[in-house]
Structure 1
Amino acid sequence: MKLNKEYIVKTLVKYLDIPSPGGYTTKIINEAKKEFEDMGIPARLTNKGALIATFEGINDKEHKTISAHVDTLGAMVKEITTDGRLKFHKIGGGSWNAIEGENCHVITQEGKKYRGSILPRQASSHIYGEASYKTLRDGENMLVRIDEKVHTKEEVLNMGIRVGDFIYMDTRTEITENGFIKSRYIDDKSAVAIVFSICKYLRENNITPKYTTHFFLSNYEEIGHGVSAVPEKTKEFIAIDIGTVGEGQESDEYSVSIAAKDNKGPYNFELRKKLVDVAQKYNINYKVDVYNRYGSDASAVVHQGYDVNFACIGPGVDGTHHYERTHIEAIENNIKLLIKYITE
């Protein structure tokens, strides 16, 4: 199976460049809708703003649904301090230390963007000495320093910044010559690239899926309620997310990771075995893994009461919810596995 690596990387970078912290996803969803429609794949919005694209298959009685989430971690303005800095709440998980020193944008309700940086209150070691590195990184001590001539709360308000405005971090995306992809928000923009690469491959090779297949781009996964409108004929639901690479894990940055269990419980054994069998049959590099602190759209779907078989796969990612890294091979292996899964 020959995949268009240039398209995969181009699509990944395109969607990484569209800010989409949880709750602020309209722009990226609209762009994805257009991309599906440009491929001739009809797509519709749900009431909650998610996107369902449907690729008609040979069998229309039993459907498959494959999800990827477009929302990422981020932040929201909680308070404007008297000296013109911003306290904020995190959106989604991740540690406070993971965003220290990162550049960001603050976007107002009217759509105006302001640059800033995230720093602890006592950032300067020249001023605060040991306190600069001993002070706890938390919601009280981490602040956005706005790149404008502001020194008071009133000056910030005059710029149009308000409580409730979204904050998103620079991704610092870098693609190395030997295939490594470094960026914030590989979780889950890599899955978006996987979905479009699957669709492109099927279209260009005139391949029809064995079963009608829905591609569900959810927009609240990081908050815990990404998918709430599963197409009614769905028998099998697979979430594309990420595999966690690190101490105690089987996943690596070159394989498709197949989840056996997350902290909510085991995934469906029969569907997991089906994916493993496909990977083995076509010599696709894979790892089966058990995750410690993890949930996916697939586990959320069954906890809502949907009667579907459910699984979760994804590229192995190092440094998840931090400055993440994977390899193009892991993304390619996910694409290959899902293409074979929906066409056999």
Structure 2
Amino acid sequence: MDFNGCKDFLMETAKTLLAADSPSGFTQNAVAAAERIAGGLGYATRRTNKGGLVIEVPGREHTKRIGLCAHVDTLGLMCRAITDKGELMITRIGGPILPTLDGEYCKIYTRDGRIYTGTVLSLSPAAHVFDDVLTRPRDEQNMAVRIDEKVQNAEEVRALGIEVGDYICFDPKTTVTQSGFLKSRFIDDKGSAACLLALLKLMRDAGTAPRYDMEIHFTVYEEVGHGGAAIPGDLDELLAVDMGCVGSDLTCTEYQVSICAKDSSGPYDYDMVSRLVALAKERGLDYAVDVYPHYSSDVSVTWRAGSDAKAALIGPGVHASHGMERTHWDGMRNTIALAAAYLECE
């Protein structure tokens, strides 16, 4: 397979997925985008009852069922209250780092289909007005959304159709640089979803298939802890493709595929992890093996739901997770190549 040849498709796919607002529970647009891409490549798809997407790929042999998964839900915000001044107080969906959101542009989606724009701000937003502009906490009690409409009270906000429970989606600021970096919020985990769609394109173009029957699960509740519960428990193996962590006490870089030996939920399957390490060495891939201290994946939830599948986790190294994230084409290419080697589809 020509892994270098999929770069343009990969980055365009990533930009398409990242442009579709999809915090947990509000993922229909990202799922539809992934569905269109997979269908355009000629693969059969189906939706789960919870709104996820399954892509089915027949293998050359039918003695095992292999699953790959990535999640297309992201972090986000929801309106929890409307103030007397017409501001929207927020509650987090997943774990966004709230101080990084101070000043971010956003969209407010109403239940009747209207979309408004706004800005997430500290409640002390002006240096010429507030003594505590630098010291006020950036948290749910001290940040709000300023709506880009002429509103001065809660009644005028509600007249726009905006209510408590409406989703607030902040701008991912997606950029692909000439030097090969993908910069964006929500690379966790739309970067990995793009890698799996690029792998499907490579298989189609090469006229090949995985060794065993394979299904890709794009889950939609990973960021709030139950995405993997929808993955069938009778798979023989499950490979989660999620971001690799970059930071203190970790060896992974943005240019590598990370192989996770253990996260906060415990160790991954020893034999499967060892096989992935051996494949990375055999193929000359740039990789790292790490232990993630503040991390869990869809595998953890699948196991807790009763799955007997062997399971492991790989993904491109991502810097500044849950903030302004960044990865590199090299890390994504190494991830695609390791997944292809694992599936024995070359």
Please report the TM-score for the alignment, with normalisation by the length of structure 1. 0.97
Task: Write out aligned runs for 1:1-344 (5 A).
Answer: 1-3=1-3, 4-129=6-131, 131-231=132-232, 233-343=234-344
Residue type matched to 1:2 in 2? Answer: D
The answer as to whether partners of 1:180 and 1:327 remain within 8 angstroms in 2 is: yes
CA distance in 2, matches of 1:27, 1:60: 33
The answer as to whether partners of 1:62 and 1:233 remain within 8 angstroms in 2 is: no
> Shift of the alpha carbon at 1:271?
0.5
CA distance in 1, matches of 2:182, 2:14: 10
* 1:106 alignment partner, SS class: strand
List structure 1 segments (4+ residues) > 3 angstroms apart after TM superposition.
none
The answer as to whether partners of 1:239 and 1:312 remain within 8 angstroms in 2 is: yes
CA distance in 2, matches of 1:232, 1:204: 31
Comparing 78-87 with 27-36, greater Cα deviation is found at 27-36
Comparing 206-215 with 91-100, greater Cα deviation is found at 91-100
> Shift of the alpha carbon at 1:37?
2.0
In the alignment, structure 2 segments of 5+ residues that lack a partner are none
> Shift of the alpha carbon at 1:98?
1.9
Residue type matched to 2:292 in 1? Answer: Y
CA distance in 1, matches of 2:240, 2:42: 23
Q: Deviations over 1:191-247 (max 9, x none)?
A: 111111010000110112100111000000000000223346511101111011111
Aligned length: 343
Please report the TM-score for the alignment, with normalisation by the length of structure 2. 0.97
CA distance in 2, matches of 1:257, 1:70: 19
The answer as to whether partners of 1:184 and 1:321 remain within 8 angstroms in 2 is: yes
The answer as to whether partners of 2:232 and 2:307 remain within 8 angstroms in 1 is: no
- CA-based RMSD of the aligned residues comes to 1.1
In the alignment, structure 1 segments of 5+ residues that lack a partner are none
CA distance in 2, matches of 1:231, 1:23: 20
* 2:285 alignment partner, SS class: coil
CA distance in 1, matches of 2:230, 2:115: 33
